[in-house]
Amino acid sequence: MNTPSSGANAAAETLSEEALDALSRAGTAAATADTAGAAAHRHEALLSSRAANIKQSAVRDVFEISMQPGLVSLAGGNPYLQSLPLDRLAKTAAAIIAEHGLEALQYGGGQGTQELREQICAVMAAEGILDADPENVVITAGSQSAQDVAAKVFCDPGDVILLEDPTYVGALNTFEAYEVDIQPVAGDEYGLIPSALQKTIAELQAAGKRIKLLYTIPNFNNPSGVMLAPERRQEIVDICREANILVLEDNPYGLLKFDGVLPEPLRAANPEDVLYLGSFSKIFAPGLRIGWALVPAHLKQRYYLASEAVTLCPPTFSQLLVSDYLRNYDWRGQISTYRTLYAERCAALLAALEEFMPAEVSWTRPEGGFFVWLTLPEGIDSYPLLYTGIDAGVVFVPGAAFSASHAPSNKLRLAFSAVPAETLREGVRRLAPVLAEAIAAR
Amino acid sequence: MNTPSSGANAAAETLSEEALDALSRAGTAAATADTAGAAAHRHEALLSSRAANIKQSAVRDVFEISMQPGLVSLAGGNPYLQSLPLDRLAKTAAAIIAEHGLEALQYGGGQGTQELREQICAVMAAEGILDADPENVVITAGSQSAQDVAAKVFCDPGDVILLEDPTYVGALNTFEAYEVDIQPVAGDEYGLIPSALQKTIAELQAAGKRIKLLYTIPNFNNPSGVMLAPERRQEIVDICREANILVLEDNPYGLLKFDGVLPEPLRAANPEDVLYLGSFSKIFAPGLRIGWALVPAHLKQRYYLASEAVTLCPPTFSQLLVSDYLRNYDWRGQISTYRTLYAERCAALLAALEEFMPAEVSWTRPEGGFFVWLTLPEGIDSYPLLYTGIDAGVVFVPGAAFSASHAPSNKLRLAFSAVPAETLREGVRRLAPVLAEAIAAR
């Protein structure tokens, strides 16, 4: 197994597409100009009304700059793949093509292979779901695609999706492409607040809104790192059931709780009321684009057919590689390795924040996942600080990226997953004066 | 390079997912019962209105039967991967992970890698498009996903997509998921008829319809095998331009013209008016799920962002494998091999049809692609013959699958791509009496 490398290399790591996406949302105000540049083109009349909801980036140019060597990226939520046994995986990939090439390179079933669906049930058992049936698993081209299909199956324009604020930028992008009315629910350091959920539902229903889904990342929310308290979980599902709202539980980071003591997923005791999304992107390899949905039995066929209409079938070769990894490798041991690695990095990041940050800055202390969420004093917009941060040699994701409102935000996200401890410290050392200056200039 | 195997094995080849899909459309009348079984479930109220448009299969059960050994499948439009150099590809896959694993297994850019987009421009040059800019190429998780994104960007519910009748079942599925009004345009043995296109447009416009796209497979249409005559091509684009309709040109089979003399794509001389879709599924390996869109420059950013909202990024490992294949293998030579192989199989199928079919049956004589399209006498519905065909040991796809109307059809599709010549002959030998009996029973 490769050992994690450290030091200079990591500084040059490029930003993940997830981060690209995240950043792309930060500057939506100035966004339409670029696309609208050809506004007079007669094809503008051909665009769907949803196309206008799919946001244009005003920050992409920044990325060209941010790729420069020497910059410390705290932006990208990339897993640390240096920790994988790449040489062995190379042999596995070769064996799959040599021995099963006619299957690996051919069209496959729209729901994914039987073997991988069974193995995914074992992964979900490790996540705390003990009764999953492979028949109700739909494998997708990454978890992003599973979100897209969920929105497709359930949401008409104007329908409401409730979600945490902040939440995963990719989900916001996906939902907005369905012209969904995205409504945040208040949370605190223990995640969504049940009474707030109840109040939001009541208000929206009183206003005549159709609420379809609650989208939630209960374990180590991206970007906040917050974990939903176990004692709130059943209450949240009960509230949704009562209001006939389906829970869309997104759990890519669940297995990465540092101490390995996992809270039960919302899905565990609620097979009928929770559509559960899982992913190999954080525990194995995002480049394979293999995610899945565990769909309530009565909704599975609808979901499956919609998924098939989007991508025909998930990547076959990728599925066989994941299957071999789950069959023949110590994937549980690899998750333990990741837990230790990410716990160390998180601790290093928190220690650096303690060491360097101005007193006015606060942050979350996650128990797992990839991210720490910083809060600046009220009234400071973190978005312009992106540019001064880059000048100082450090990149982060401004908080506005993670909110449907796109309003100015005094928050920002730091990712510790892909960066060795000493580089994390250097990044924070560079970032602190940028924030201090902004605070002083208030 | 492996040589094509022949004989008994091929009879056991399973049906492709494409065919599954195709068949799934044939029996839509009886279709809703299964899903509606739980109609009383309170979650039915949560389904989007589009969900009802995503069809349920009444024919999937047939597939369980059709998988039985000894059955000759003329249904699946699978490429004949036995013709690929699998042992060498195995080594390539290993080298990619061993040497570039951190890239291959990581998130990638939402538009796809720069190298592959440049190489795709070379593939399109072979297809007859000489001016493609990698900046305007968006790589997708299979061409199916590229169709999905096109519908997403351009079509509101009720908008019209014009298309050939019959056409690709996967495209029909995708478009119907966007609640599009699908309108067929009359064609003949030379493809779409320009005057009919003009008439259809005029009628729809007079009825107040918004026509957004013309979806067309000009080369070796799936299922009909028909090629749009070169002399009709520019006229069709001109008619669409005049009516402000974007042409969505789907060209997965273009390079597989048996004689290698390729007609110009619609896109070639019309960079602004044609959104061009390409695929490696027919010329290399569908299991990698790598397709692409060449988007008119003024629409590219919209298209790209919508694509990113669906899958975040196309599979990275797959992209690197395709790139290596295009860089280091004789991919043009492989296409020549495929041309010869498929030409031989097509000839064998046509010869068997001549030998065995009743006089009342007619069929197309394709110059490329994977499919031959049979026409039975008027009034015979090919759908029930699927079952008698299976009893006789042969599977095909009934014509109703390829039409938005789902009306009974006297057509059926036979695929010659995946089946050796002698097996093709055996399949036709089994099918002929089934059709003869239906004709006699008229």
A43–B308 C-beta distance less than 8 A: no
**Rounded-to-10 torsion of CA A227, A233, A235, A240:** 90
B288–A17 C-beta distance less than 8 A: no
Peptide bond into B314 cis (omega under 30): no
* DSSP-derived pairing of the beta strands A137-140 and A291-294: antiparallel
Hey, of A105, A176, A338, which one would you mutate to test binding to chain B, going by the most B CBs within 10 A of its CB?
A105
A86–B55 C-beta distance less than 8 A: no
CB count within 10 Å of CB A64 equals: 8
A41–B244 C-beta distance less than 8 A: no
One-letter amino acid of B230: P
Residue A286 DSSP class: G
Q: Are A275 and A246 in contact (CB under 8 A)?
A: yes
Hey, of A54, A114, A205, which one would you mutate to test binding to chain B, going by the most B CBs within 10 A of its CB?
A54
Hey, of B34, B46, B81, B107, which one would you mutate to test binding to chain A, going by the most A CBs within 10 A of its CB?
B107
B312–A311 C-beta distance less than 8 A: no
Measure CB to CB from residue A101 to each of B86, B141, B311 and give the nearest one: B86
Calpha distance B371→B365 (Å, rounded): 9
Calpha distance A213→B8 (Å, rounded): 51
Calpha distance A158→A143 (Å, rounded): 24
**Rounded-to-10 torsion of CA A154, A160, A162, A165:** 120
Tokens of A324: 């071999």
Residue of B301, B243, B253 whose CA lies nearest to B277? B253
| Predicted-complex ipTM score | 0.91
DSSP-assigned states of every residue in B58-98: SSHHHHHHHTSTT-EE-------GGGS-HHHHHHHHHHHHH
Q: Are A16 and A76 in contact (CB under 8 A)?
A: yes
Hey, of A3, A16, A107, A111, which one would you mutate to test binding to chain B, going by the most B CBs within 10 A of its CB?
A107
Q: Are B168 and B144 in contact (CB under 8 A)?
A: no
Q: Are B302 and B164 in contact (CB under 8 A)?
A: no
Supply the pLDDT for residue B96.
98
Supply the pLDDT for residue A64.
59
Residue of B330, B243, B314, B235 whose CA lies nearest to B279? B314
One-letter amino acid of B183: Q
A174–B51 C-beta distance less than 8 A: no
A107–B18 C-beta distance less than 8 A: yes
Rounded to a whole number, what is the distance in Å from the CA of B348 to chain A's nearest CA? 23
One-letter amino acid of A85: P
Tens of pLDDT along chain B (442 residues)?
333 333 333 333 334 444 444 454 444 433 343 444 445 799 999 999 988 778 755 445 456 566 678 899 998 889 999 999 999 999 999 999 999 999 999 999 999 999 999 999 999 999 999 999 999 999 999 999 999 999 999 999 999 999 999 999 889 989 999 999 999 999 999 999 999 999 999 999 999 999 999 999 999 999 999 999 999 999 999 999 999 999 999 999 999 999 999 999 999 999 999 999 999 999 999 999 999 999 999 999 999 999 998 988 999 999 999 999 999 999 999 999 999 999 999 999 999 999 999 999 999 999 999 999 999 999 999 999 998 999 999 999 999 889 888 789 999 999 999 999 999 999 999 999 999 999 999 8
Measure CB to CB from residue B144 to each of A21, A94, A312 and give the nearest one: A312
- By the 10 Å C-beta count (0-12 exposed, 13-18 middle, 19+ buried), B102 is classed as middle
Measure CB to CB from residue A305 to each of B55, B110, B312 and give the nearest one: B55
CB contact set of A65 (below 8 Å; sequence gap of 6+): A390
* DSSP-derived pairing of the beta strands B397-398 and B411-415: antiparallel
B188-242 pLDDT, tens digit per residue, is: 999 999 999 999 999 999 999 999 999 999 999 999 999 999 999 999 999 999 9
What is the crossing angle of helices B17-26 and A300-311, to 10°?
120
Residue A183 DSSP class: E
Calpha distance B410→A393 (Å, rounded): 68
- B46: chain A residues, CB-CB within 8 Å: 154, 212-213, 244-246
**Which residue segments constitute the domains of chain B, with CATH numbers given?**
8-84+333-440 (3.90.1150.10), 106-328 (3.40.640.10)
- A289: chain B residues, CB-CB within 8 Å: 141, 311-316
Q: At residue A394, what are phi and psi to the nearest 5 degrees?
A: -145, 145
Residue of B23, B86, B75, B21 whose CA lies nearest to B419? B75
